[in-house]
């Protein structure tokens, strides 16, 4: 029996909180493993409905797995493992916090290559999502193709995607773009500004944009998820997209594309570019992330819109089995192998 202490914000209302919870579930699915889980977060509020209690004598702990910001990593008296997802490449500021750990867990080979100077022992684990949806076995598209962006992060490249959308379609096309928003009034002003930049015609010539405040409604109502995040982290919403029978548009340099078979996704041409982010206080010299051209996104959207047969085929493959790709049970073997249980 292996006993593992986890320290993470697994009750936190955030992407990291969700991933931490998924990791704990994956650990508990391994035969002969039990976890004792410490919730650590700087957020005042937490999801008290989530609780994974287990009492164990600390002298019997075999390993400590931390899913925290790297500056919170500590070397414990146990086998100390940090879970780390680099958002960019060429930034080695975390090295001072990760080198002394026994190992690092990352979620893709791309992330491993980025972290090669941060630790001598890096373990790649398949991402998982602990989510059950009522997948419609006959789900398909109607006459309208519904793209959507299930992220509000600045790195999600929402503006670039909207520009490509406005340049590709007009109001006569049977197409919509769903966007997750926590402030619809702000988004309306944002899109009016993009329309002026695109100068594609009058205000009534642009294709439809639908704002969603509930991400579940978005997954249920739309057809094709767009994950073109600049960072190299795994977007949990992309994993959930498959749970609703929706193919994913992803960047060919991304971490997620390593885990997505060709028959459940569309890979968009992308390249690495220097980080330019006015909201970040410090950017390392030569620090890079991934980007794409607006014309390539435009061409892909048009191709998907016109080739609905392929879109339906991808949906069908997801419904028939692809929706289980990131189930906990399918990630256990990679975690078990990485940790040598």
| pLDDT tens digits, 284-297 | 889 999 999 999 99
Containing structural domain, residue 84: 2-128+327-339
311 shares a domain with 189: yes
114 shares a domain with 217: no
pLDDT at residue number 185: 83
- In a domain, residue 139? The reply is no
232 shares a domain with 293: yes
25 shares a domain with 10: yes
Contacts of 29 (CB under 8 A, 6+ apart): 328, 329, 332
* DSSP states along 177-211: EEEE-S-HHHHHHHHHHHHHHH--SSGGGSPEEEE
Average pLDDT, the chain: 90
- In a domain, residue 135? The reply is no
335 shares a domain with 318: no
Residue 138 has pLDDT above 90, yes or no: no
169 shares a domain with 46: no
Task: Specify the higher pLDDT residue, 283 or 278.
Answer: 283
- In a domain, residue 253? The reply is yes
- In a domain, residue 272? The reply is yes
d(CA 122, CA 82): 10
- In a domain, residue 257? The reply is yes
Grade residue 256 by pLDDT with cuts at 50, 70 and 90: very high
Grade residue 50 by pLDDT with cuts at 50, 70 and 90: confident
Grade residue 188 by pLDDT with cuts at 50, 70 and 90: confident
d(CA 85, CA 43): 20
Grade residue 54 by pLDDT with cuts at 50, 70 and 90: low
CATH number at residue 259: 3.40.50.2000
CATH number at residue 76: 3.40.50
Task: Specify the higher pLDDT residue, 56 or 143.
Answer: 143
311 shares a domain with 164: yes
67 shares a domain with 118: yes
pTM of the prediction? 0.92
pLDDT at residue number 76: 93
169 shares a domain with 318: yes
- In a domain, residue 134? The reply is no
- In a domain, residue 138? The reply is no
Residue 341 has pLDDT above 90, yes or no: no
pLDDT at residue number 275: 93
152 shares a domain with 41: no
309 shares a domain with 332: no
Average pLDDT over residues 14-42: 91
Average pLDDT over residues 207-230: 94
Residue 57 has pLDDT above 70, yes or no: no
Grade residue 58 by pLDDT with cuts at 50, 70 and 90: low
pLDDT at residue number 291: 97
Grade residue 234 by pLDDT with cuts at 50, 70 and 90: very high
Q: How many structural domains does the chain have? A: 2
d(CA 272, CA 93): 20
The percent of residues above 90 in pLDDT, for the chain, comes to 68
Of 21-25, 103-107, 119-123, 276-280, least confident by mean pLDDT is 276-280
pLDDT at residue number 47: 76
Residue 232 has pLDDT above 80, yes or no: yes
184 shares a domain with 263: yes
């Amino acid at each position: 029996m292996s006993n593992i202490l986890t320290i993470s914000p697994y009750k936190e209302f955030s992407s990291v909180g969700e991933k931490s919870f998924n990791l704990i579930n994956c650990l508990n699915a391994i035969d002969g493993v039990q976890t004792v889980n410490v919730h650590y977060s700087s957020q005042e509020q937490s999801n008290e409905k989530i609780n994974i209690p287990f009492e164990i004598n600390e002298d019997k702990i075999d390993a400590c797995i931390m899913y925290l910001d790297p500056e919170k990593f500590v070397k414990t008296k146990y086998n100390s493992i940090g879970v780390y997802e680099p958002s960019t490449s060429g930034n080695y500021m975390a090295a001072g916090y990760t080198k002394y750990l026994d190992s690092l867990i990352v979620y893709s080979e791309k992330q491993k290559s980025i972290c090669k100077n941060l630790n001598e022992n890096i373990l790649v684990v398949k991402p998982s999502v602990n989510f059950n949806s009522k997948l419609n076995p006959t789900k398909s598209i109607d006459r309208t193709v519904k793209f959507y962006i299930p992220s509000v992060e600045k790195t999600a490249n929402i503006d670039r995607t909207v520009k490509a959308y406005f340049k590709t379609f007009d109001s006569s096309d049977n197409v919509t773009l769903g966007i997750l928003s926590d402030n619809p009034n702000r988004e309306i002003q944002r899109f009016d500004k993009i329309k002026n930049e695109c100068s594609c015609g009058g205000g009534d010539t642009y294709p439809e944009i639908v704002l969603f405040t509930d991400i579940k409604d978005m997954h249920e109502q739309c057809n094709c998820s767009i994950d073109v995040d600049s960072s190299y982290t795994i977007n949990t919403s992309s994993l959930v997209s498959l749970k609703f029978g929706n193919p994913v548009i992803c960047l060919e340099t991304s971490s997620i594309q390593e885990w997505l078979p060709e028959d459940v996704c569309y890979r968009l041409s992308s390249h690495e570019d220097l980080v330019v982010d006015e909201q970040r206080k410090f950017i390392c010299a030569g620090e890079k992330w991934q980007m794409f051209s607006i014309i390539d996104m435009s061409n892909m959207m048009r191709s998907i819109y016109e080739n609905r047969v392929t879109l339906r085929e991808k949906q069908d493959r997801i419904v028939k089995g692809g929706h289980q790709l990131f189930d906990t049970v399918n990630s256990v073997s990679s975690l078990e192998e990485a940790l040598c249980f």
